[in-house]
Amino acid sequence: MRIGIDLGGTKAEVIALADDGKEIFRHRIDSPQGEYQKTLEALVYLVNLTEQETKQTGTVGLGMPGTISPFTGKVKNANSTWLNGQKIDTDLSKLLNREVRVANDANCLAVSEATDGAGKGKRTVFAIIIGTGCGAGIAIDGRVHAGANGNAGEWGHNPLPWMTPEDKSYSEDVLCYCQKRGCLETFVSGTGFMNDYQRLSKGPRVNGRIIMEKATNGDPIAIKAFDNYQVRLAKAIAQVTNQLDPDVFVLGGGMSNVDKLYDSLPSLILPWVFGGECSTPILKAVHGDSSGVRGAAWLWPQI
């Protein structure tokens, strides 16, 4: 049995998978806030509960915001800031008396979809999260590719390529939480989509689902905001194609539920791909919101 835990900012979810990938247990609790020791205790509780309920023992994988620094062995870049500077893999391994494998949550998405999702059978999977924030993960042969510095897939903190004057004007007004301007995070996240609509409408902040409803009903400002969004996302995907050229792109997060993207993006990326040719599929994550926790379990891959 494989146990996976998705440690988020507001909830922690555990799943147990049989060797064939069938779900045999799932449970969710609120994430402890601000206290590292209580976070460890919650993770141990979830593992113990899972093994008590299933009457089996299992390998343990943990997906979390942030990553383990290969230089210090400590968590870095986590928006759950009390994790930063902690050796969470070592500490949890000691408490559970077994090895625990830890990866960034976007990398868990990539592993999940590479194993038995939209990227199954593909060698290189580039998984994109476009939700409240945006990021990406890379799986090669079903395993996390974290990179020499632990930064592989930190797609959201690269600048938007081929900026127009409008893009540049927007970036001057919006500061990314990493304290830089022009990051993809500020353009192609769901938050970026809402920010752009608010800028264009000069009105109140509106939920992305409502903006899409307005666009469908012919609202010109909503249509403009969505057109901006599609082109910006297409440029960002084209840039990855020019660098990594993965076998498949898999989209997750709230904006991945906008079905029109899968019709429009394949042609929109072509002007920005070197040579103008690209047939790489762009697919919705099969496991949706469950991809993160399933990917944590699949950090122990099938042999």
> Residue 297: inside a domain, yes or no?
no
> Residue 112: inside a domain, yes or no?
no
> Residue 264: inside a domain, yes or no?
yes
Residues 6+ apart with CB under 8 A from 122: 114, 246, 247, 248
Which residues are bridge partners to 284 per DSSP? Answer: 251
Residues 56 and 129 in one domain: no
pLDDT digits (tens, 9 = 90+) for 174-216: 999 888 999 999 999 999 999 999 999 999 999 999 999 999 9
> Residue 301: inside a domain, yes or no?
no
Task: Report the C-alpha dihedral over residues 190, 162, 138, 112, rounded to 10 degrees.
Answer: 30
If one counts the domains in the chain, the total is 2
In angstroms, the CA 83 to CA 162 distance is 36
Residues 234 and 130 in one domain: yes
E strands in the chain: 2-7, 11-17, 23-30, 59-64, 67-68, 75-76, 100-104, 124-130, 134-140, 143-144, 248-252, 282-284
Residues 129 and 257 in one domain: yes
Tell me whether strands 143-144 and 134-140 are parallel, antiparallel or unpaired: antiparallel
Q: How confident is the model at residue 13 (pLDDT cuts 50, 70, 90)?
A: very high
* The model scores a pTM over 0.85: yes
Residues 24 and 159 in one domain: no
> Residue 300: inside a domain, yes or no?
no
> Residue 298: inside a domain, yes or no?
no
Section 252-275 average pLDDT: 96
Report which of residues 65 and 246 the model is more confident about: 246
CATH number at residue 187: 3.30.420.40
Residues 64 and 132 in one domain: no
Helix (H, G, I), strand (E, B) or coil at 277: coil
Residues 134 and 272 in one domain: yes
Residue 90's domain comprises: 2-103
Residue 288 has a pLDDT of: 87
In angstroms, the CA 64 to CA 7 distance is 5
Residue with tokens 């540049």: 168
> Does residue 79 register a pLDDT over 80?
no
220-243 vs 208-216: helix crossing angle, rounded to 10: 110
pLDDT digits (tens, 9 = 90+) for 149-166: 888 988 999 999 999 999
Q: How far is CA 185 from the centre of its chain?
A: 12
> Residue 225: inside a domain, yes or no?
yes
